[in-house]
Amino acid sequence: MEPLEPSIGWGVLHLFFTVDRARAAGDRGACRRVLDAVRALEADDHQALCFSVLGHKADIGVMALGPDLTRLHAFQQQLATTTPLTLVDSFVSFTELSEYSTSEEEERARLATEEDINGPAAEARLAAWRDRMEHYREQRLHPRLPLKRAICFYPMSKRRVAGANWYALPFEARKQLMAGHARVGRGYAGRVLQLITGATGIDDWEWGVTLLADDPVALKDIVYEMRFDPVSADYADFGSFVTGLVLEPAQALGRVGL
């Protein structure tokens, strides 16, 4: 099948499986086939992050991402049809940039008004700002996810009810609210890696939130603190949360009996 590549960003699949124990017991090659599927996907310049799921919602999860939706679909089908894994839930989204990001002109104005920096000094600061923003955009659109030890995933949408309709707010009001929300997230830099992916018109929810951390307490702390921010407290609805242990694929499969 011809590749299908988004014009901006990558496709992202969060796949959640249970293990057919009876089938797995009689299939000694099951683990190898799953590992082969993961290796083949990554050889095609995609990534698959495997994790054993805590709780009852699934046995194992795979976050697969990369440029070609047809390749991601083939990977999904390979796992679901040729192994003892039963797909029980999924989420489809794209990597994207925030529409509320600061523009260069806004940063120039901030330097002048808040720090009284103009002229050559401002240009030097803006050059460094452009480098940071380029790195930020690359990480948002084409992330390479590290093997942190714990993962949490949940879908969310902005609320649309009388008195708390996010989409009825003026853009500048939404941008100001999101700036405050982002400041909370930046307080966890180095502790939590956050990837927000867009699913409006693609899945039942508008965004998927993936959090990665070495300390699982940090996952709880960031979500708890953000609940007090108006963007979450007044304007957000959340789906089910799934938490897991990020492992090398063979280790994750071993944890669930493959």
- The CATH number covering residue 76 comes to 3.30.70.1030
Residue 40 lies in a domain: yes
Residue 231 lies in a domain: no
pLDDT of 126 higher than 90: no
Known catalytic residue at 154: yes
Residue 145 lies in a domain: no
How far apart (Å, rounded) are the C-alpha atoms in residues 211 and 242? 10
Considering its fold, how many domains does the chain have in total? 1
Residue 86 lies in a domain: yes
pTM equals 0.93
Per-residue pLDDT, 121:
84
Residue of 100, 154, 167, 224 marked catalytic? 154
How far apart (Å, rounded) are the C-alpha atoms in residues 225 and 207? 19
Per-residue pLDDT, 174:
94
pLDDT of 25 higher than 90: no
Instruction: State the average pLDDT over residues 96-125.
Output: 86
Which tens digit of pLDDT belongs to each residue from 88-106? 999 999 999 998 888 888 8
More confident of the two residues 41 and 24: 41
Instruction: State the average pLDDT over residues 135-148.
Output: 93
Helix (H) or strand (E) holding 161: strand 160-161
Least confident among 2-6, 12-16, 25-29, 187-191 = 25-29
The answer to whether the beta carbons of residues 33 and 82 sit under 8 Å apart is yes
Residue 1 lies in a domain: no
Q: Name, in order, each residue with C-beta under 8 angstroms of 59's C-beta and a sequence gap of 6 or more.
A: 17, 18, 19, 52, 53, 256
The answer to whether the beta carbons of residues 240 and 203 sit under 8 Å apart is no
The answer to whether the beta carbons of residues 89 and 18 sit under 8 Å apart is no
Please, which pLDDT band fits residue 107 given cuts at 50, 70 and 90?
confident
Residue 81 lies in a domain: yes
Write out the residue range of the structural domain in which residue 90 sits: 11-96
Residue 32 lies in a domain: yes
How far apart (Å, rounded) are the C-alpha atoms in residues 121 and 129? 12
pLDDT of 7 higher than 90: yes
Q: Name, in order, each residue with C-beta under 8 angstroms of 184's C-beta and a sequence gap of 6 or more.
A: 222, 225, 226, 229
Distances (CA, A) of 213 to 45, 163, 195: 24, 35, 12
pLDDT of 1 higher than 90: no
Please, which pLDDT band fits residue 63 given cuts at 50, 70 and 90?
very high
Instruction: State the average pLDDT over residues 208-226.
Output: 97
Best mean pLDDT range from 17-31, 90-104, 116-130, 191-205: 191-205
Per-residue pLDDT, 19:
95
pLDDT of 192 higher than 90: yes
Residue 36 lies in a domain: yes
The DSSP 8-state label assigned to residue 1 in this structure reads -
